Amino acid sequence: QVQLVESGGGLVQAGGSLRLSCAASGRTLSSRGMGWFRQAPGKEREFVAILNWSGGSPRYADSVKGRFTISRDNVKNTVYLQMNSLKPEDTAVYYCATGPAYGIDYRQYAYWGPGTQVTVSS
């Protein structure tokens, strides 16, 4: 009952920045966690950042802490991921996800966007 669509991915040089957006529609009132995950070729999907839709402090993976910022716009039903100081190891498909829980395990999330590719060149 929730639809998500990401945008903002692309190709950037190391040290550059990108801002990803995730627009949500449908019955989002029951959603609590709204997070970003990523998956690189040959690797497992990993947690990046998450916020509680109703508010509170967000959580970040150690690998992105200090470089990435997650935020939301309740009017637009959109969550953002500002990515600064990008590194080649950040290259992955980035997905937004939501669900009734608030956690860092991707298995807790029932609704996913199709993903957007982020490529960071050295």
Please give the Cα distance from 86 to 60 (Å, whole number): 15
Mean pLDDT of the chain: 94
Pairing of strands 59-60, 46-52: antiparallel
Q: The tokens 């669509």 sit on which residue?
A: 5
Tell me the pLDDT tens digit for each residue of 96-117: 999 888 899 999 998 999 999 9
Q: Which residue has the higher pLDDT, 33 or 18?
A: 18
**pLDDT, position 102:** 87
